[in-house]
Structure 1
Amino acid sequence: MKQFATFVKKEFFHVLRDRRTLLILIGMPIAQILIFGFALTNEVKNARIVVVDHAKDNASRSIINRIAASNYFEIQEDVMDRDRMETAFRAGDIKLGLIFPANFEDDLARQNQAQLQVIADASDPNSATTLTNYVSSIIRDYQAELNQQAALSYQIIPQTRMLYNPQLKGAPNFVPGVIALVLMLVSVMMTAISIVREKETGTMEVLLVSPFKPVWVILSKAVPYLFLSLINVLSIVLMSVFVLRIPVEGSWLLLFAESALFIITCLTLGIFISIKTKTQQVAMLVSLMGMLLPTVMFSGFMFPIANMPVFLQWISNIVPAKWFYSIVKSIMIKGVGIEGVWKETLILCGITVFLFVVSLKSFKIRLE
């Protein structure tokens, strides 16, 4: 362990002496937080919703049928109590809830107006706004049809409630995405480049013939980037809390533990890339293009995965950033604990173990 600590110390000195590397490591997350777009508008399709129908009359059933016939919604269950609905919202199983009060049709007939409640998951404000607009449009169409058939005008007033993000700020949606993007790029790229650099300069051969085990040599080069990436997470979270006014609703300890797991996943991926590449240019190209596009496209950060073809949705499951983005959003915005993110955590652990085993199998003690 003393030799391992010596190698880690050497790597820390090497990173700290390189000002350009420090600029990338520290400056990138700050710049992305400050200049990243706040407003991203995307069409939402096949959103999972539930309906609580206390009325069970012709009016409520007619509206429910219209919603079910729409391509925008997928009704998971037509009867659900409030406690189960809250659990489903926290787990991310549904995006919208529609509650019809008792005597819905009677209120329309006697008072010429009725109320129903629309509850949306506003941890993604753009999707919440879009979904509530879709529901309101369907209700308005039904109301217009009623008014054509009745002597008196009827009025239905939806009462909308936004969960987790009542003000519909864009920041709660992009901050988890920026964390995933920065950690993926920095951890993968810097680890891959640092190891390949040793190959190009010829020092890797010296390290491999030393008494120190080759595996520990590789791991010692990844440890500094683990600590620096955790500093990046801390800086992003602190900026989100004090600059963007986005409090961390869940456990800080759990958030950093999950971030450490994702960083280890990224470092393992960087090691795998470094083993498969021979030059820094190739390692950088693979890290940037091979990690940037999947993270942006398939994490759910920029584009809703539910809108993609089924084949691409399957591909998104192998992108680590997808699971980490879901974890961070659940912890920071919804305030869930480990019971709400344990599945995503196990998947990240599985991806990490798989990459580590493949990297060990691919690692060659003798350089070609």
Structure 2
Amino acid sequence: MKQFLIFIKKEFAHVLRDRKTLLILFGMPVVQILIFGFALTNEVKNARIAILDQANDPASHQLITQIEASKYFETEIAVMNPKQMEEAFKQGSIRLAVIFPANFNNELLHQNGVKIQVIADASDPNNATTLTSYVTSIIQDYLAAVNKTTSAPYRIVPEIRMLYNPQLKGAPSFVPGVMALVLMLVCVMMTAVSIVKEKETGTMEILLVSPFKPLLVITSKAVPYLILSLVNVASILLLSVFVLDVPVNGNVFLLFAESTLFIITCLTLGIFISVKTSSQQVAMLISLMGMLLPTILFSGFMFPIENMPVALQVFSNIIPAKWYYIIVKAIMIKGLGFSAIWKETLILSGITVFLLIISLKSFKIRLS
């Protein structure tokens, strides 16, 4: 029994001396519970919407005031024309638009009924359904207050139109998210582990003393995963088109070009992890836990980013998967061209260059 207690004491000493282990044991649960507490919610808040008030009468002003007072909406543009509204949907700057007809107040008073057009971006069907239900509830509350003072009940009928995904299928939102998640995990983890494996087995030193430059050695490790990842992209797109019935509405070559850029970003991130770690276990743990959770939480794939606190919204900007998810939705679902995604492309390119420079500066020619 005494020997058993000695071994337990030794293991405790080993664990307490290892800062990385302590960080995993105590730091990760705290971080996860804080992040999940803020990010995991089915409620959609602060959604950017636009209002086109063609009536500009007292009734429309009252209803607009109630919509703007709601915590669920953030009115970006109160007055805009249809062309501006279409561009705003394409750019992703608004999630929903409410259009009041020209004779809103007159039709409501004299015909006891009027129609309001509600247009939602259904490339994310869950958010679109939630937002339209919020608007409908606000309209019903407004009618309930108005009908208290009238003998004949008034009616406002929302005409709901879903853009890009009128049938509200889940696959158009699911496929881009899966592409970002799969490429991020496979590229980062496989690259990091394969390079660290060379360190552990001692073959990296042999490669470094060879006539090849270190940059070529590292690049040669990443090229196979670039090719295999492109095969993954092709297989996912084929399955989405022929099995899930999700067509590629935009340019396929542009989609592959953007996917190649994202893969290179992920490979560069894997190289950075391999430079900073010395064991396969640590590299795999960082690749899995460090990439899986941020990709799921902060890419906009599962949880709306605008629901999160400002600090987490700012943090999401450094997650490459967020920008790739936006790019794939724009090309594949909305059918847009490069003019709509050049900012996201520029950000991904900047992240890639930054990681590559840091990795090269941190790379040690001699391992010992």
TM norm. shorter chain > 0.5: yes
The DSSP-based 3-state class of the residue aligned with 1:302 is coil
In the alignment, does 2:121 pair up with 1:126? no
1:356 offset after TM fit, Å?
0.2
Match of 1:179 in 2: 179
Match of 2:337 in 1: 337
Check conservation: 2:116, 2:158, Cα contact below 8 A: yes
Check conservation: 1:44, 1:131, Cα contact below 8 A: yes
Match of 1:289 in 2: 289
Check conservation: 1:42, 1:127, Cα contact below 8 A: no
CA deviation profile, 1:10-67 (whole Å, cap 9, x unmatched) = xxxxxxxxxxxxxxxxxxxxxxxxxxxxxx9821111111111111111111110000
Q: How far apart in 1 are the matches of 2:122 and 2:232?
A: 26
Match of 2:111 in 1: 111
Check conservation: 1:199, 1:278, Cα contact below 8 A: yes
The DSSP-based 3-state class of the residue aligned with 2:341 is helix
Number of aligned residue pairs: 329
Paired AA for residue 205 in structure 1:
E
- The TM-score with structure 1 as length reference comes to 0.88
Within 5 Å, give how 1:256-271 maps onto structure 2: 256-271=256-271
1:92 offset after TM fit, Å?
0.3
In the alignment, does 2:135 pair up with 1:135? yes
Match of 2:152 in 1: 152
In the alignment, does 2:355 pair up with 1:362? no
Q: How far apart in 2 are the matches of 1:170 and 1:63?
A: 32
Check conservation: 1:274, 1:283, Cα contact below 8 A: yes
Within 5 Å, give how 1:56-205 maps onto structure 2: 56-205=56-205
Match of 2:215 in 1: 215
Match of 1:17 in 2: none
Q: How far apart in 2 are the matches of 1:191 and 1:62?
A: 58
The DSSP-based 3-state class of the residue aligned with 2:318 is coil
Paired AA for residue 351 in structure 2:
I
Bigger shift: residues 181-190 or 74-83? 74-83
CA deviation profile, 1:106-163 (whole Å, cap 9, x unmatched) = 1111111011100000001001000000000000111111211101111111100000
Q: How far apart in 2 are the matches of 1:211 and 1:147?
A: 85
Q: How far apart in 2 are the matches of 1:43 and 1:244?
A: 27
CA deviation profile, 1:179-228 (whole Å, cap 9, x unmatched) = 00000000000001111111111111111111111110110010000000
Q: How far apart in 2 are the matches of 1:197 and 1:206?
A: 13
Match of 2:50 in 1: 50
The DSSP-based 3-state class of the residue aligned with 2:339 is helix
Q: How far apart in 2 are the matches of 1:198 and 1:223?
A: 16
Paired AA for residue 102 in structure 1:
A
In the alignment, does 2:325 pair up with 1:322? no
The DSSP-based 3-state class of the residue aligned with 2:90 is helix
Check conservation: 1:45, 1:307, Cα contact below 8 A: yes
RMSD over aligned CA atoms reads 1.0
Q: How far apart in 2 are the matches of 1:78 and 1:198?
A: 59
The DSSP-based 3-state class of the residue aligned with 2:108 is helix
Q: How far apart in 2 are the matches of 1:41 and 1:159?
A: 28
Paired AA for residue 334 in structure 1:
K
Q: How far apart in 1 are the matches of 2:300 and 2:131?
A: 17
List gaps (5 residues or longer) in structure 1: 1-39
Check conservation: 1:42, 1:126, Cα contact below 8 A: no
Q: How far apart in 1 are the matches of 2:351 and 2:293?
A: 19
The DSSP-based 3-state class of the residue aligned with 1:149 is coil
- The TM-score with structure 2 as length reference comes to 0.88
Match of 1:243 in 2: 243
CA deviation profile, 1:52-104 (whole Å, cap 9, x unmatched) = 11111111111100000000011111111111100000000101111111111
Match of 2:9 in 1: none
In the alignment, does 2:196 pair up with 1:224? no
The DSSP-based 3-state class of the residue aligned with 1:166 is coil
In the alignment, does 2:287 pair up with 1:299? no
The DSSP-based 3-state class of the residue aligned with 1:301 is coil
Paired AA for residue 106 in structure 2:
D
The DSSP-based 3-state class of the residue aligned with 1:284 is helix
The DSSP-based 3-state class of the residue aligned with 2:148 is helix
Check conservation: 1:44, 1:127, Cα contact below 8 A: yes
List gaps (5 residues or longer) in structure 2: 1-39
Q: How far apart in 1 are the matches of 2:123 and 2:354?
A: 32
Paired AA for residue 357 in structure 1:
I
Q: How far apart in 1 are the matches of 2:146 and 2:207?
A: 80
Paired AA for residue 96 in structure 1:
L
The DSSP-based 3-state class of the residue aligned with 1:162 is strand
Check conservation: 2:41, 2:303, Cα contact below 8 A: no
Q: How far apart in 2 are the matches of 1:68 and 1:203?
A: 63
Identical amino acids, percent of aligned pairs: 70
Match of 1:6 in 2: none
